[in-house]
Amino acid sequence: MQLFKLRNIILYFIYFYFIFLNNLLAETLNESGANVFMYHRFDESKYPSTNINTNQLEDHLIYLIDNEFNIESIDEILQKKIAKQSFLPKTVGFTVDDAFLSFYENGWPIFKKYNIPVTLFVSTDVVNQAHWNYMSWDNLREFINEGGSVALHSASHMHLPLYDISQVKNDLLSSISILNKELNISPKVFAYPYGEASNEIIGLLKDLDIEFAFGQHSGVIHKNTNQYYLPRFSLNEDYGKIDRFIFSANAKPLIIKNFLPNKILLKKNTIPQIQFDLISKVNNSQLNCFSNSGGEWNSVDLKIDLNKHVELNLTEPFLAGRGRINCTTKVGTDWLWFGYQFTIN
């Protein structure tokens, strides 16, 4: 009888232990995200703000492989997001903007070497013009045949929010048409040139049956991220140094809701009252936010109340162009990251 009771106690212990592990795993998956990286040029040192050298690129890829990251295509990441499926821990993906020839000649061979998928956002006008420093339609066809993916990046690569919405619509329709004609694709994924967006353009993308859009603000994609304003970590010679890359690759999402102001394009309100509610469980005193208001990156004074409502107090206006904020905090050994970009006119 005592052995029977002991056996039952052990079975109950094992049962509740596995429940605890399953709940812990579920919570971990629920808080995980996908870290997407963005490159432009490869071994074009004349343009350091958009260039990465191929030794740096190879270091990035080797680090991910050696540390068993879950490298997925952008399509795989986006399909999981739309289905609200949890991302596997350490999920990453790769994008390249603008279709510079140096990607085809210098960058793509390294991605191929390690069998890593890439989505290339193409602005079609410059390809049609057969510019010497950009990929040709034949290059793009070969890239697709070798496993690459091509997506929409406008026709003209203009600063879209600064133009009338009818002009933006014509630009995008032109680009969609030529991609269909030359590459036989109907793009569903878009990247805003310069990361510059507006609520009106998001509405247009929906009307054109575009399903996802990427910006150029840093952060980690999670199941609640706006699918028409997805973050990416931009990498160049400076921000692509291996320590910064490792930090970005291991960042976790700082999950928020009720972000204000809800307008991406700011015309008059260049010192916006930024506020949001925290969903992630963080220590209030360890949350730090930074902005480039005034033209330089500085820390921002913030207030957090007992309901986890955060208010940022900018002291200087955002300058014309792109106004950015980044908020980070440390939980245990993990760094959590939220970023946002306003378009300032």
For residues 111 and 120, give the distance between their C-alpha atoms in angstroms, rounded to a whole number. 12
And the tokens for 199?
């609520």
For residues 276 and 311, give the distance between their C-alpha atoms in angstroms, rounded to a whole number. 7
Confidence band of 283 (pLDDT split at 50, 70, 90): very high
3-state secondary structure of 11: helix
pLDDT of residue 209: 98
pLDDT of residue 2: 54
Helix (H), strand (E) at residue 102: helix 101-102
- Contact, 193 vs 158, CB < 8 A? yes
For residues 56 and 243, give the distance between their C-alpha atoms in angstroms, rounded to a whole number. 11
Structural domain boundaries in the chain:
1-31, 34-251, 258-344
Q: Which residue has the tokens 């820390």?
A: 299
In this prediction the pTM is 0.91
pLDDT exceeds cutoff 50 at 18: no
pLDDT of residue 135: 98
Confidence band of 8 (pLDDT split at 50, 70, 90): low
pLDDT of residue 301: 97
Question: What's the pLDDT tens digit per position in 28-52?
Answer: 335 789 999 999 999 999 999 999 9
Backbone angles phi and psi of 238, in degrees to 5: -85, -60
pLDDT of residue 31: 72
Angle at alpha carbon of residue 201, lines to 103 and 186, rounded to 5°: 55
pLDDT of residue 25: 34
And the tokens for 9?
């106690």
- Contact, 303 vs 311, CB < 8 A? yes
pLDDT of residue 7: 53
Residues 6+ apart with CB under 8 A from 62: 114
For residues 222 and 144, give the distance between their C-alpha atoms in angstroms, rounded to a whole number. 28
Residues 6+ apart with CB under 8 A from 224: 255, 257, 279
Task: Say how many C-beta atoms besides its own lie within 10 A of residue 109's C-beta.
Answer: 13
Domain 34-251: give its CATH architecture. Alpha-Beta Barrel (3.20)
For residues 34 and 88, give the distance between their C-alpha atoms in angstroms, rounded to a whole number. 8
Q: Which fold has domain 258-344?
A: Immunoglobulin-like (2.60.40)
pLDDT of residue 32: 87
Question: What's the pLDDT tens digit per position in 72-128?
Answer: 999 999 999 999 999 999 999 999 999 999 999 999 999 999 999 999 999 999 999
For residues 26 and 33, give the distance between their C-alpha atoms in angstroms, rounded to a whole number. 13
Question: What's the pLDDT tens digit per position in 134-146?
Answer: 999 999 999 999 9
HEC secondary structure over 182-200: HHCCCCCEEECHHHCCCHH
Mean pLDDT, rounded, for 269-294: 96
